[in-house]
């Protein structure tokens, strides 16, 4: 079943700047779909268009449609998008820094109907992320970046969303912490959680995704099953830093990028 669908979406800032151009994507129930691309490609703008948070930056969906479980949500208020089952975990680890870890989780479950259900959801978070159980009384502003990222995922879980849209979960984290974060995402996916994942860390994203899209300059330039994209020469060289011979290169060493405009079926 299609859970989230973007059809020829355009986003305009200040009625002047065209940031997204004809973006179409589909996320099916139970899938993890990744959106890859470099800085400034339009990935975060895509997430904001979906979650209704464009207005804070004078942006609007100026064309196309965004459907969530059959309901049109383009330009819907962010609070109503949440009520329709989508939680946006923004980049930058925006915890409520003056509250404890557990208080942050309780805020995420503010719409839970009763205390028994709230406890069940807290227990689920702590079972999945024992580190948060150990840190339940820690002021969140004093937690490490990786711990804050886990807390944001836990806070999203507390709302029992139909889909979690998560922006750059690995940004600024040490490799060991990235592994821990993605282990949690994999576990949630195995439980049936649907994800829309925006990442610059293509290797991490493709390790969990079922399907992926590549964005450049506000357009989708390539898409296909994650395993095929991971083995595509252009993706390996430009996004993963690996040449056709298997040699690993830094982005600065990659002088030329020849995009093969072909459909990856």
Which CATH number belongs to the domain containing residue 212 in this structure? Answer: 3.40.50.300
Structural domain count, the chain: 1
The per-residue pLDDT for 238 is 66
Residue 107 lies in a domain: no
The per-residue pLDDT for 95 is 87
Nearest to 224, CA basis, from 26, 70, 5, 42: 26
How many C-beta neighbours within 10 Å does residue 230 have?
19
Provide the whole-model pTM. 0.85
Nearest to 231, CA basis, from 240, 220, 221: 240
Residue 245 lies in a domain: yes
Residue 121 lies in a domain: no
* SS3 category, 97: coil
Residue 244 lies in a domain: yes
Residue 193 lies in a domain: yes
Burial label for 130, CB within 10 Å (0-12, 13-18, 19+), is exposed
Residue 179 lies in a domain: yes
Q: Which domain holds residue 31?
A: 2-96+163-253
The per-residue pLDDT for 245 is 46
Residues of the chain with pLDDT under 70: 236-265
* Torsions phi, psi for 59 (to 5 deg): -110, 160
Residue 110 lies in a domain: no
Residue 129 lies in a domain: no
């Amino acid at each position: 079943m299609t859970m989230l669908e973007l059809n020829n979406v355009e986003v305009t800032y200040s009625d002047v700047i065209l940031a997204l151009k004809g973006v179409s994507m589909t996320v099916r129930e139970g899938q993890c779909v990744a959106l890859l691309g470099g800085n400034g490609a339009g990935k975060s703008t895509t997430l904001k268009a979906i979650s209704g948070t464009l207005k804070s930056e004078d942006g609007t969906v100026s064309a196309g449609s965004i459907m969530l479980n059959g309901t049109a949500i383009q330009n819907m208020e962010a609070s109503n998008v949440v009520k329709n089952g989508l939680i946006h975990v923004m980049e930058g680890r925006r915890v409520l820094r003056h509250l404890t870890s557990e208080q942050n989780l309780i805020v995420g479950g503010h719409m839970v109907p009763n205390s028994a259900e709230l406890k069940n959801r807290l227990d689920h978070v702590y079972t999945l992320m024992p580190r948060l159980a150990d840190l339940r009384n820690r002021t969140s502003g004093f937690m490490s970046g990786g711990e804050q990222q886990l807390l944001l995922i836990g806070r999203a879980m507390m709302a029992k969303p139909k889909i979690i849209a998560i922006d750059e979960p690995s940004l600024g984290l040490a490799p060991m912490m990235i592994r821990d974060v993605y282990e949690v995402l994999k576990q949630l996916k195995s439980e049936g959680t649907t994800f829309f994942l925006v990442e610059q860390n293509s290797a991490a994203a493709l390790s969990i995704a079922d399907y992926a899209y590549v964005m450049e300059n506000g357009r989708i330039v390539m898409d296909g099953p994650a395993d095929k994209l991971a083995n595509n020469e252009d993706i390996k060289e430009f996004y993963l830093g690996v040449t056709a011979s298997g040699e690993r290169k830094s982005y600065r060493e990659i002088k030329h990028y020849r995009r093969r405009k072909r459909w990856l079926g």
